[in-house]
Every structure is written in C-alpha cells, then in structure tokens.
Amino acid sequence: MNPGKPHARSAFLQAGHVPRKRFGQNFLVDPGVIHGIVAAIDPQPDDNLAEIGPGLGALTDPLLERLDRLHALEIDRDLIVRLKRRFHPERLIVHTGDALAFDFGQLEPDLRVAGNLPYNISTPLLFHLARFADRIRDMHFMLQKEVVERMVAQPGSPAYGRLSVMLQYRFHLEKLFDVPPKSFNPSPRVWSALVRLIPRPAAERALCDIATLEKVAAAAFSQRRKMLRNTLKAQFAEDELAALGIAPDKRAEDIPLAGFIALANARTKAELLAKVHPENNLKEPV
C-alpha cells in the first residue's frame, strides 16, 4: 500500500476538534490508505455494516458512498454532534456509547463490522465481538501492527500466544497491509495494519468450551519460556499430556490450536467426571 498525501479535506473536517487521547483518537488522513481499507471491505449497497469509532468520518464518508445505510458506534459526544450534522439519520444510524458494552445482537445478522479501532481497547473489543461471531459475516480492523502480528501468528513464532489461540479458534484471520504512523493525525508512535476476520462456521470448529480454552491458554502462556510440564502441572500430569499427544517438554508456543483444544476438552471431561466422582478429583481446576 502506497500511502498518499494527507488530504486537505481531512484537515478541514478536523477543524475545531482537539483529538482525545483517552478515546484513542488518531484520525486517518491518508486518502491512499482510506481507499485501500474501503476496497478491502468492498461494501455492497444493501450490506449490513457497523463502523466502530467513525470519528470525523474519514471512513464513514466513502463507506456511505457505496452503502444504502451504515450503523456507527461512537463514544465521543462532540464527534456525535458533528456526525449527526453531517449525515442524514436514515443513512447513518448513530449509536452513542461504548462499543465494549454494545449489544451487537440487536443489529441484524450477517453483520459486517469495520473500523480504525481505538488502540487502547482493541483486545477487549475483539473478545467482546467474538461473542457475537455467529451473527457476523466479516470484520475489517485497523490495529497496531504488533497486535495484528500476534493475532495471525503461527506456532513456533514469538508472537504466538493467547490472542492467536483464542481468535484463531473463532476466526479465519488475514493480515492485509501495513500502514505507517504518518497516515494518521496525530501520528501514533507505532505502525498499524489492517486485518480481516471471518468467523469460522460452527461445523468447521472443533467443539470446545471457550472459557476452559481461555484458562488453559492463559496457564500455558503464563511463563512462555517454561515447559508445559511446569506451566500446566496443576491441571495435567505428564502422562496425561503425553496421552493427548503433547510432549511435556514442549513450550506453549510450540502447541498448535488443535493441541490447545485437546487440552481444554480433557479438562472439561476431567471436571465433569470430578463432579460425578468427587473422590477422583486429584487435580486443581484450571
């Protein structure tokens, strides 16, 4: 992606608004990048799309050129006033408040979600959205490049961790392109990247209790340099790990998603058995 020159229109739109750090306000000012994001989303007129954090409308405007209507979730009341002044309420449906608390279940299914996300809430927001994955068609987000690299990381990479395991269980992930700091105003300190998330259909996902998967991944990655025989010793004996095809001398970063699913399912089974036969509960719950 070739970043273009900051657009005079962006400066005009920002006039009078002081970016708020607490809301992660780094506004896109690079027409080349804006075009690249909209092209990646490829909105069709009757798509059901929600933009998180429309801000001054850098993406909202070109999205609405292609869509009949768009939902927008914004927390900053000053920006909401501007958005409402600028866009017709039948075309831009503004939801005021915190996207982290928003019930995406109230929007029609086959939902598409997009946004240049406030970096300070990006990880909890991804986990919040994962709860609605069954209603979502796809998501396109601008995030810190380092976070995107952790999301898409494969086993064996230092970036592979809890975020990779939890999101890859739910979604197909694809890093699309990198974006330099100068494409934003104010410029963040770090590079950004656009990522696409497509929910995996239930039939394709191995059955697994997400809360248990989260706990096993958290324990395994709690000390990433240590072997699983140590990090998981409260939950699994070494022979139990071996029986699941997981060598106890491996580290969490060597274990593929399927291995974490096997571990989580073994825990779920052990906990169920412990409820039925409490005398056999030799291991701590995760």
User: In terms of CB distance, is 83 or 136 closer to ligand SAM?
Assistant: 83
Angle between helices 145-152 and 162-170 (to 10 degrees): 70
Contacts of 90 (CB under 8 A, 6+ apart): 69
Question: Shortest Cβ distance from residue 116 to ligand SAM (Å)?
Answer: 3
Residue 59 as a binder of ligand SAM (CB under 6 A): the answer is yes
Residue 76 as a binder of ligand SAM (CB under 6 A): the answer is yes
Q: How many CA atoms within 13 Å lie on the side-chain side of 140?
A: 19
Sole binder of ligand SAM in the list 70, 79, 151, 286 (CB under 6 A):
79
Write the burial class of residue 12 (CB in 10 Å: 0-12 exposed, 13-18 middle, 19+ buried). exposed
Residue 54 as a binder of ligand SAM (CB under 6 A): the answer is yes
- Contact letters for ligand SAM, residues 95-134 (x by CB under 6 A): ---xxx---------------x-x--x-------------
Q: With contacts defined by CB under 6 A, name the span among 47-55, 143-151, 197-205, 233-241 that binds ligand SAM.
A: 47-55
Distance CA 265, CA 199 (A): 21
Residue 25 as a binder of ligand SAM (CB under 6 A): the answer is yes
Residue 259 as a binder of ligand SAM (CB under 6 A): the answer is no
Residue 78 as a binder of ligand SAM (CB under 6 A): the answer is no
Distance CA 215, CA 133 (A): 20
Sole binder of ligand SAM in the list 73, 113, 163, 246 (CB under 6 A):
73
The C-alpha angle with vertex 110 and arms to 201 and 71, in degrees rounded to 5, equals 140
Distance CA 173, CA 178 (A): 15
Q: What are the structure tokens assigned to 185, written together? A: 């105003």
Q: Considering CB under 6 A, how many residues would be counted as binding ligand SAM?
A: 24
Sole binder of ligand SAM in the list 1, 26, 33, 126 (CB under 6 A):
26
| Torsion angles phi and psi, residue 77, rounded to 5 | -65, -30
Residue 144 as a binder of ligand SAM (CB under 6 A): the answer is no
Question: What is the contact surface with ligand SAM in residues (CB under 6 A)?
Answer: 23-28, 52-56, 58-59, 73-76, 79, 98-100, 116, 118, 121
